Structure 1
């Protein structure tokens, strides 16, 4: 079994408070979950009102399809109209049986 992860840092330019940021982050995470069938959560920078670190994960039998799907997600996030994509790292690893 393979596990693919994508860690993304985004800037929520319009956020003036944590409440503003959480509204945007919640929308991003909900869309990722429904469009790509992945597990997604905010994983760091929880107290910064303009920066969000997101973690996205999925599992499958082969590495290449996971990597392609994570690249699609990364490209999707780069086009987000409100949150600016700052950086991202894709990792695909075999889980020991």
Structure 2
């Protein structure tokens, strides 16, 4: 069994000056990520209006499948025109960890 995680550090549009507006940008992205059958949530920068950290976790029997799913998630976040992807932190955990 292999698990993979990714944390996406994203910059939100300048009009996200309240947590309500921030949620209006983050919630659709998290919902779109969940279509890849991953666990997804906002995991960091919770009190910062212009930034968000989105976390994704996936479990699979094959490390190639884990990487493929994380690649798809990264492409989805990077392709959102309203967000700017600043950084991605990925980890793969295998049976030896």
Instruction: Name the TM-score, length of structure 1 as normaliser.
Output: 0.91
- Show the counterpart of 2:84: 84
Distance in 1 between the 2:28 and 2:75 partners?
Answer: 17
Aligned-pair Cα RMSD in Å? 1.5
CA offset at residue 16 of structure 1? Answer: 2.0
> Is the Cα contact below 8 Å between 2:6 and 2:88 reproduced in 1?
yes
Distance in 2 between the 1:95 and 1:85 partners?
Answer: 31
> Is the Cα contact below 8 Å between 2:8 and 2:54 reproduced in 1?
yes
Runs of 4+ aligned structure 1 residues displaced above 3 Å come to none
Distance in 1 between the 2:17 and 2:47 partners?
Answer: 12
**Is residue 24 from structure 1 mapped to residue 10 from structure 2 by the alignment?**
no
Instruction: Name the TM-score, length of structure 2 as normaliser.
Output: 0.91
The residue matched to 2:16 in structure 1 has which SS?
coil
CA offset at residue 3 of structure 1? Answer: 0.5
- Show the counterpart of 2:51: 51
Which stretches in structure 2 are left out of the alignment for 5+ residues?
A: none
Which stretches in structure 1 are left out of the alignment for 5+ residues?
A: none
Aligned residues: 96
